[in-house]
Amino acid sequence: MENRSLQIVRAWRSLGTQNGCVALIDALLLSLAVYISYALRFSIFLEHAATYGIFAAGPLYVAAVMLSFYAGGVYRIYWLQTSIEELLILLKAYVLACVVLIGLYIGIDVPFVVPLSVMGMLVLCGFAFLTLLRLSWRLTLKEHNGRPLRKTLIVGAGEAGALLARDLKRHDSDFNVIGFLDDDPAKSKKTVAGIPVLGALGDLIGIVGAERISDVLVALPSAPAVRVRDLLNELLSLKISVRILPSLQELADGTVTLNKLRKVRLEDLLSREPVVLDTQQIGQLLRGRVVLISGAGGSIGSEIVRQILPYAPETLVVLGHGEHSIYTLLEELRERACRVKLVPIIADVADERAVEEVFSRWRPDIVFHAAAHKHVPLMECNVREAIRTNALGTWTLGRMAGKYNARRFVMISTDKAVNPSSVMGASKRIAEMALTELQQDSPQTAYVAVRFGNVLGSRGSVVPKFERQIAAGGPVTVTHPQMSRYFMLISEAAGLVLQTAAIGLPGRIYLLDMGKPVNIAEVARTLIRLNGYDPDRDVRIAYTGIRPGEKLFEELFYDEKHVEATSHPKIFCARISEEGYAEVKGMLGKIKTLLEEPEIVSSLAKVVPEYRSSGEAAGEK
């Protein structure tokens, strides 16, 4: 029965695409309008005079309207996407035909009489029939490529939901919206944008089951992140298609349209509330300055570049070791019509001569140091390179910042620098210690480090790896069932780095509020569900064991007693003890000695006493 209905719908819709058929149906409907107008005036069984009027005036009326439609382009319109604009074209052509006919009737003698009541009813009835015909094509259950429309709910009947519903009506989309869900009691059982509000969010499961909903569109861009997360988790458990409008921060132009809908992402489920920045304070730091960003082609470095641009620095010196990543960034910025002067530099941050040339030429006021090797297992196999880039590179860049009187030097650090069990973590801890000594040597420059954990979507992030494994059918490899990590968004991390730079007290290590650590196995399960699979049946998770240098969990600070709040609720400051200052003396010599050691790993603990390799830690347990 359902297939038969769809065949009828398909046939009816196909008529709306054939102009010859449309014209024929118009002629029949206009003729019907003539009959009904006379019948309402005289009776269903027409008198002789009325019959004469129909045969005399009727054909003239039908011919005039259709000629006007042809001349006005009405039969060139694709009526399956009828909108107000198309109906206005129809109205103009119809009114023109009626005005011409009435003018001729009044101006010349005709051998028949058309009562004014018939004339009025005919004008209204004819337009109503023609309009309803076209709306029937637009509003009939649509079907694409042999597939019926998907029964859809919109969650959120606010302004965003209403705008989305109207945009769905304007476009020939696959979504057949049958109703809204909204917790506002004032909207209950009402209609929004011509669509009924079926219930509250608590009715979700019942309505999805009763109405056999296949798709849910979440239109809650201003809702708290926790509320959206809970809703999305509930929807994912129903195994239906879910799409979401981005948050207000992501809706940069403020418009809500069909093409703004996207699939649910992992970050939507992390319940990270939007970060509010003191843009005035950041602007005072950056506006009109020469800013240097090392590692500018990387995930964090490039996002810092993007977020600095609106603050109108005088010059951006984008320094990177990989020419392709710097080229890609420059192309992106040029496509965005960037007006800030961009200076691309390809150099190694550990090359003192190259770095000094950059500083002597451009004299940067602010330095953001994001260049580093970050891949933990790879650095276990490339120890010397990790120390050379992460430690010596930081010292070299930092020393030049002091020598050429930069106002501020901000280094991107990591939670892996706290009680490090990896070469990468130890190398970043040495970099932090180097900044502490540089602060004592160059007090005119404020040196700060910013620690945070993993960022979603960065190079080497676990999320792209999991997505590739899911696309290949699995298994998804996780090192340990209890492995957990801190996560935040790249945009969030970069924004807070800028805020930290604006706050930055000299010689401090700042910590970003990462929220609660997230279980990696649960991340894998969530990504599997987001891709429409069952983690217990369709795509399995395989545990491979902890890799060299990895820890089950990360830490953000050594001693909670030394952590202080700052003027921003998501940024904290770690005070350095007097003993800590004593440990950082002669860091350059220590780094160079370390690089010359034949057994560099065993010598790391001499420079970073808290460093314990993951193998040593495991052996003690």
- Segment among 21-30, 204-213, 288-297, 371-380 with least mean pLDDT: 21-30
Same domain, 118 and 189: no
pLDDT one-digit tens code per residue, 481-538: 888 887 788 888 999 999 999 998 898 999 998 777 788 888 888 888 877 778 878 8
17 has a pLDDT exceeding 60:
no
pLDDT at 375: 87
Same domain, 108 and 221: no
pLDDT at 144: 47
Kindly state the tokens that stand for 519. Answer: 């279980």
Final residue before a domain boundary, out of 82, 106, 139 = 139
Label each residue of 572-588 as H, E or C: EEECCCHHHHHHCCCHH
Q: What range does the domain containing 47 cover?
A: 2-139
- Type of residue at 188: S
Average pLDDT across the chain, whole number: 81
Number of domains in the chain: 3
Same domain, 243 and 391: no
**Cis previous bond, 475, omega within 30:** yes
The beta-strand segments (E) located in 76-184 are: 143-144, 147-148, 150-155, 175-181
- Type of residue at 309: L
pLDDT at 311: 94
107 has a pLDDT exceeding 90:
no
Q: Is residue 222 part of a domain?
A: yes
112's CB contacts (< 8 A; 6+ apart) are 52, 53, 56, 57
Same domain, 356 and 496: yes
Q: Which of 537, 415, 254 is nearest to 529 (CA)?
A: 537
3-state secondary structure of 238: coil
Q: Is residue 478 part of a domain?
A: no
Q: Is residue 521 part of a domain?
A: no
143 has a pLDDT exceeding 60:
no
Same domain, 193 and 113: no
Same domain, 508 and 592: yes
pLDDT one-digit tens code per residue, 528-586: 887 777 887 888 888 888 777 666 766 666 556 668 888 898 899 887 654 454 556 67
- H or E element in which residue 243 lies: strand 241-244
pLDDT at 82: 62
Same domain, 298 and 446: yes
CATH number at residue 258: 3.40.50.720
CB burial of residue 90 (10 Å; 0-12, 13-18, 19+): buried
Q: Is residue 600 part of a domain?
A: yes
Residues of the chain with pLDDT > 70: what percent? 81
Q: Is residue 480 part of a domain?
A: no
Kindly list the distances between the CA atom of residue 24 and the CA atoms of 16, 18, 75, 145, 595, in Å, as whole numbers in the listed order: 11, 10, 11, 27, 88
486's CB contacts (< 8 A; 6+ apart) are 415, 452, 453, 454, 514, 515, 517, 518, 554, 556
Where does the pLDDT of residue 137 fall: very low under 50, low under 70, confident under 90, or very high at 90 and above? low
Kindly list the distances between the CA atom of residue 140 and the CA atoms of 3, 40, 78, in Å, as whole numbers in the listed order: 15, 30, 15
- Segment among 56-60, 190-194, 241-245, 410-414 with least mean pLDDT: 56-60
pLDDT at 347: 96
- Type of residue at 7: Q
Q: Is residue 535 part of a domain?
A: no
248 has a pLDDT exceeding 60:
no
Same domain, 235 and 253: yes
Higher pLDDT, 491 or 141: 491
Looking up tokens 């891949």, which residue turns up?
Answer: 375
Higher pLDDT, 18 or 283: 283
pLDDT at 169: 74
Same domain, 363 and 391: yes
pLDDT at 278: 92
424 has a pLDDT exceeding 60:
yes
Considering 68-82, 113-127, 409-423, the range whose residues carry the highest mean pLDDT is 409-423
Cα 80 to the center of its chain, rounded Å: 31
Q: Are β-strands 191-192 and 195-199 bridged in parallel, bridged antiparallel, or unpaired? A: antiparallel
Higher pLDDT, 390 or 161: 390
Average pLDDT over residues 181-205: 86
Where does the pLDDT of residue 348 fall: very low under 50, low under 70, confident under 90, or very high at 90 and above? very high
29 has a pLDDT exceeding 80:
yes
Where does the pLDDT of residue 281 fall: very low under 50, low under 70, confident under 90, or very high at 90 and above? very high
Average pLDDT over residues 270-276: 73
Where does the pLDDT of residue 111 fall: very low under 50, low under 70, confident under 90, or very high at 90 and above? low
Q: What is the pTM of this model?
A: 0.69
- Segment among 231-235, 396-400, 401-405, 533-537 with least mean pLDDT: 533-537
Q: Is residue 601 part of a domain?
A: yes
7's CB contacts (< 8 A; 6+ apart) are none
140 has a pLDDT exceeding 60:
no
Considering 58-67, 242-251, 367-376, the range whose residues carry the highest mean pLDDT is 367-376
- Segment among 137-141, 163-167, 193-197 with least mean pLDDT: 137-141
Same domain, 119 and 154: no
Same domain, 60 and 160: no
Average pLDDT over residues 115-137: 78
Dihedrals phi, psi of 432, to nearest 5 degrees: -60, -45
Q: Which of 391, 374, 404 is nearest to 435 (CA)?
A: 391
Kindly state the tokens that stand for 329. Answer: 């960034």
- H or E element in which residue 299 lies: helix 299-308
Tell me the DSSP string of 119-141. HHHHHHHHHHHHHHHHHHHHHSP
Q: How many CA atoms lie within 13 A of 156 on its CB side?
A: 23
Q: Which of 126, 173, 100, 170 is nearest to 29 (CA)?
A: 126
- Segment among 206-210, 425-429, 508-512 with least mean pLDDT: 206-210
Kindly state the tokens that stand for 516. Answer: 């609660």
Considering 124-128, 165-169, 220-224, 284-288, the range whose residues carry the highest mean pLDDT is 284-288
Average pLDDT over residues 348-360: 96
Looking up tokens 């040339």, which residue turns up?
Answer: 357
Q: Is residue 415 part of a domain?
A: yes
pLDDT at 458: 67
SS3 content of the chain, % helix, strand, coil (to 5): 50, 15, 35
pLDDT at 369: 98
Higher pLDDT, 586 or 347: 347
pLDDT at 385: 94
Dihedrals phi, psi of 474, to nearest 5 degrees: 90, 180
